[in-house]
Amino acid sequence: MAKRIHVAVVGGGMGGLAAAVALAHRGISVAVYEQSAALREVGAGVFIYPNSLRQMERMGLGDALARVGAKVGSGSEYYRMDGSVVGKILTTDSSGWNGMYGMHRADILKVLADALPASAIHTGHRCVGFSQDASGAHLTFENGKVAHADVVIAADGINSVLQKHVVEPSPPEYAGCRAYRGLLPADKLPDWRPEAHQVWMGDGKHFMVFPVRRGELLNYVGFVPTTSQTAESWSAVGDRDELAASFAGWDPRVTHLLEKVETCFWWGLYDRKPLRTWVNGRLALLGDAAHPMLPHLGQGANQAIEDGTALAVILQICAQDDAMSLEDALRKYQELRQPRTSLVQAEARKNGLRYDSKYADLAQRDKEIANSAQLRRALYDYDIEKEAVEFMRKDGANA
């Protein structure tokens, strides 16, 4: 008889909700605890790539994502700061499947939340304590509530409250860069390429634009070096004039877009060296709590979705295997996921150097940008569900 497993997910962002949906899809009881009074994401864009989209389509979310996403494909290119073309941006996997969307964070959050029973989501629950014993894992919240589970998944971000219960504190590392971001109605730029992801690179900074919300909005991000740290915040109001000045003299497409900007936000870029461990008994870290990464491959949310899928597969196998403990299952999750996320973290850092043109020879940079399609193809082809099943089968599990 299968073991009954109840999982508590701390954190109601994309990683936490995606993990919850993956678990529920495989018949595992799950509850999500979010500190905010309501599920919400500040308006900003995110890429959903083939490696995570195929997982969400298997969870039955394909149609809902297609209704709110903006297909990204034709016209996607890299440029030097003057607008000269460096190369095309890969938007398909090896099969030619263009499973790539620009998504408004609020839209994808709603799709994920709508896939769960309302009773599974508990807002206004700021986690302040964790303990575990032979009977299970126990959470306490600032509002005085307590929760019990067989497994706790910490999906509570780069400044995770629960991380200290897993590994010694590891402060985030500032990347020396501030990102200005915002959204513009697409009809303000009627000549803009509708499906294009476009990246301009030059003199220590870079600028990118891609569509979100069915193509009705353009998401722009300008990455600018700083001499002092900027908070890791999605909602800090940025200086629109400072943003425009940072890209003065660039390709007229960039400067023309910035003329349309009235307000923007900024956030500081942080990541962290790979942690020694992600798990402690019945507690496991997921997404930014385990492996925050710079946004220069657009894989942060996608890797968190992969994490959740891997956990769901492994815990489903554990439920059917009397010889496998929950602690063993979480260790297998870490063993499977840690090498891949460490690689993606490192490659995101390297790609940031390319985008910011930190090369004595730009021809070498351009060559590496062209060759990066091989890395992206490998990222997009990866099927975490199949990898997890095969990994557990090789380990002797009845997968």
- 208 domain residue, yes or no: no
Q: Can you give the pLDDT at residue 252?
A: 98
Residue 39, pLDDT above cutoff 70: yes
- The answer to whether residue 282 sits within a structural domain is yes
Contact between residue 72 and residue 92 where contact means Cβ atoms under 8 Å apart: no
Share above pLDDT 70 across residues of the chain, in percent, rounded to a whole number: 96
pLDDT at 2: 77
Query: 177 lies in a domain?
Result: no
Predicted confidence (pLDDT) at residue 42 exceeds the cutoff of 70:
no
Alpha-carbon distances of 197 from 71, 169, 193, 200, 312, rounded to whole Å: 10, 37, 9, 10, 32
Residue 367 lies in a domain: no
Residues with Cβ within 8 Å of residue 240, at least 6 apart in sequence = 261, 262, 263, 264
Domain count, the chain: 1
How much is the average pLDDT of 160-168? 96
The average pLDDT across 39-66 equals 91
* Cβ-contact 200, 248 below 8 angstroms: no
Residue-range definition of the domain harbouring residue 113: 6-72+100-171+273-356+382-394
Mean pLDDT throughout 92-112? Answer: 96
In this predicted model, which residue has the larger pLDDT, 36 or 1?
Answer: 36
Digit-coded pLDDT (tens) for 171-210: 899 999 989 999 999 999 999 999 999 999 998 999 999 9
The sign of the dihedral angle between the CA atoms of 57, 8, 340, 172 is positive
Tell me the C-alpha distance between 163 and 170, whole Å.
9
% of the chain exceeding 90 in pLDDT: 85
Of 8, 101, 112, 20, the closest CA to residue 60 belongs to 112
Q: What is the pLDDT of residue 395?
A: 77
> CATH number for the domain including 67?
3.50.50.60
Q: Report pLDDT for 398.
A: 64
Q: Does the pLDDT at position 149 exceed 70? A: yes
Mean pLDDT of 6-13: 97
Structure-block tokens of residue 148: 């019990």
Establish if 29 belongs to a structural domain. yes
- Answer whether residue 212 is part of any domain: no
Q: Dihedral of the CA atoms 8, 9, 10, 13 (nearest 10)? A: -160
pLDDT in tens, 312-367: 999 999 999 999 999 999 999 999 999 999 999 999 999 999 999 888 889 999 99
CA 303 to chain centre: 6
Name the pLDDT band for 268 (thresholds 50, 70, 90).
Answer: confident
Mean pLDDT, the chain, integer: 93
Q: Does any domain span residue 47? A: yes
pTM of the model: 0.95
Q: Is residue 33 part of a domain?
A: yes
The strand ranges marked E within 13-145 are: 29-33, 45-48, 70-71, 77-80, 85-88, 101-104, 121-122, 127-133, 136-141
* Model confidence at 266: pLDDT above 60: yes
**Positions marked catalytic:** 181
Q: Can you list the positions of beta strands (E) in 63-172?
A: 70-71, 77-80, 85-88, 101-104, 121-122, 127-133, 136-141, 146-149, 151-154
In this predicted structure, what is the pLDDT of residue 107? 95
CA distances from 298 to 70, 127, 268, 292, 294 (A): 15, 29, 16, 12, 8
Both structure tokens of 113: 């939340």
Q: pLDDT band for position 43 (50/70/90)?
A: low
**Mean per-residue pLDDT for 6-30?**
97
